[in-house]
Amino acid sequence: MKNILIGVTGGIAAYKSANIISLLRKKGFNVKVIMTKSATNIITPQTLETLSKNRVVVDMWERGFQIDVEHISLADWADIILIAPATYNIVGKIANGIADDMLSTVIAAAYNKAKIVFALAMNTNMYENPILKLNIKKLKELNYDFIEADEGILACCDSGKGRLKNEEEIIQILESSYIKPETKNNFLLGKKLLITAGRTEESLDPIRYFSNHSSGKMGYSLAEAAANLGAEVYLISGPSNLIIPKNIKKFISVKSAQEMYNEVFKIYDNIDIGIACAAVADYRPKIVYEQKIKKDSDELNITLIKNPDILLKMGELKKKQILIGFAAETENLIENALKKLKKKNLDYIVANHASAMTKNNNTATIINKNNIQTNFNDISKNELAYHILNVLKGRI
Ligand code: C5P
């Protein structure tokens, strides 16, 4: 899905459509824009034309182009139609079958062809009006989607629900709900990407070790996906039964956290992107016995000492690198993930429940430094890998 048609209506938030268009363009989407006449009082078509790199359509009866087919061809062209901001008026018109300008006509013609999403923004009283609620209910039943407005101080100085959702958040919602991640694009070409994956094993004696259930699937999926997207991939992996992805630059096999640490920092200065997916043991036995420990006593006390935190160090030494970490938790998932994002100086963190460790699918939230959260519900680790890497589009 590459073609996004933005409908801009005449709410004061119309100026924010400029940012939405420019963010979408940076991410590689084709963007076309239709404005209502009242939207042109708030932001000029020229501005949105420059940002979208396409002619902005306002009037059905504009001379000099083919009026008879324009609404059909735009409706055919779009994979997604995002109306942002969507006023009380446009929702009312679409819910009641009115098509009296270019935007409402295209929306009508696109029914069942494009995904149509309204990002609501209006005065609080209008937002609370039961007529709007009835219109939304009717449209939802007909498969139209809505991005709720946020609370805050509105342009009219009222305070309450009605502010257009943050532009970045709107795009995250589009990406996680309607857009399949890019799998055939070379946007990571020339970028060196380091991934840590799998579990570590911390020896106790010649035959025993401490470890965890991590399969390595998420990290290996990321390695393969990143290589498909053009990156030069260095995969540093603890023990795993998985097949090493063929298209990566280098596979480095390690056992313990300390070995993983050493390998990471041999190459860290030269890499552009670091993804720490490994389930690294936080502690290791203080003493590694040379001979097998005998079961002579009823109790056995083993002292553990802390392992180095590889990602924490990567964050401390960070220069040009973009860093993505993982947080596998059993409780307070988002709260703990946010703490780690900050503490380890990361650009993104992927929060997932620890129970996903051994599975093929994952339910996860990607969170950026501004706490913009994108949720993915029960998708394959392979697809999630592309979604994670796709956040880098337009950033590198
Ligand atoms: O602090 P916590 O272990 O929960 O943080 C998880 C993140 O930190 C993961 O990205 C993991 O790969 C990384 N990590 C690390 N070295 C450690 C522990 C965790 O790189 N010793």
Answer yes or no: is 183 within a domain. Answer: no
- What pLDDT does residue 158 have? 74
Q: Is 340 in the pocket of ligand 1 (CB under 6 A)?
A: yes
- What pLDDT does residue 69 have? 64
- What pLDDT does residue 70 have? 66
pLDDT class of 153 with cuts at 50, 70, 90: confident
Q: Domain check: are 134 and 247 in the same one?
A: no
Q: Domain check: are 201 and 291 in the same one?
A: yes
Q: Domain check: are 161 and 43 in the same one?
A: yes
CATH classification at residue 40: 3.40.50.1950
- Both tokens of residue 289? 């016995």
202-211 burial: b if 16+ Cβ within 10 Å, else e: bebeeeebbb
- What pLDDT does residue 1 have? 55
- What pLDDT does residue 202 have? 98
- What pLDDT does residue 52 have? 97
Percent pLDDT > 90 in the chain is 86
What is the average per-residue pLDDT within 206-217?
A: 96
Which atom of ligand 1 has the smallest separation from the CA of 307? 21
Answer yes or no: is 240 within a domain. Answer: yes
Q: Domain check: are 230 and 331 in the same one?
A: yes
Answer yes or no: is 250 within a domain. Answer: yes
Residue 50 makes CB contacts below 8 A (sequence gap 6+) with none
Which atom of ligand 1 has the smallest separation from the CA of 326? 10
pLDDT class of 152 with cuts at 50, 70, 90: confident
Domain containing residue 218 = 192-390
Domains in the chain: how many in total?
A: 2
CA of 276 to the centre of ligand 1 (A): 7
Q: Could you report the per-residue pLDDT of 109-132, keeping only the tens digit for each?
A: 999 999 999 999 999 999 999 999
CA distances from 189 to 233, 333, 385 (A): 11, 33, 17
Q: Domain check: are 18 and 126 in the same one?
A: yes
Answer yes or no: is 187 within a domain. Answer: no
Q: Is 326 in the pocket of ligand 1 (CB under 6 A)?
A: yes
- Predicted structure pTM score: 0.85
Answer yes or no: is 120 within a domain. Answer: yes
302, amino acid identity: I
Q: Which of 147, 178, 209 is the last residue of a domain?
A: 178
- What pLDDT does residue 63 have? 56
Q: Could you report the per-residue pLDDT of 18-52, keeping only the tens digit for each?
A: 999 999 999 889 999 999 999 999 999 999 999 99
Indicate the average pLDDT of the chain.
94
Q: Is 277 marked active-site?
A: no
Q: Could you report the per-residue pLDDT of 356-371, keeping only the tens digit for each?
A: 888 899 999 999 999 9
CA of 264 to the centre of ligand 1 (A): 13
Q: Is 257 in the pocket of ligand 1 (CB under 6 A)?
A: yes
Which residue, among 361, 279, 273, 289, has the nearest Cα to 321 in the 3D structure? 273
Q: Domain check: are 196 and 309 in the same one?
A: yes
Answer yes or no: is 185 within a domain. Answer: no
Q: Whose CA is nearest to atom 9 of ligand 1?
A: 326
Q: Could you report the per-residue pLDDT of 43-92, keeping only the tens digit for each?
A: 999 999 999 999 999 987 765 555 556 668 899 999 999 999 999 999 99
- What pLDDT does residue 390 have? 93
What is the average per-residue pLDDT within 190-208?
A: 98
Q: Domain check: are 160 and 209 in the same one?
A: no
CA distances from 365 to 190, 219, 334, 374 (A): 28, 16, 8, 5
Q: Domain check: are 120 and 228 in the same one?
A: no
CATH classification at residue 326: 3.40.50.10300
pLDDT class of 184 with cuts at 50, 70, 90: confident
Q: Domain check: are 375 and 265 in the same one?
A: yes
Mutating to test ligand 1, I would choose from 311, 318, 322, 338 the residue with most ligand atoms within 8 A of its C-beta, which is 311
- What pLDDT does residue 97 have? 98
Q: Is 389 in the pocket of ligand 1 (CB under 6 A)?
A: no
pLDDT at 157 over 80: no
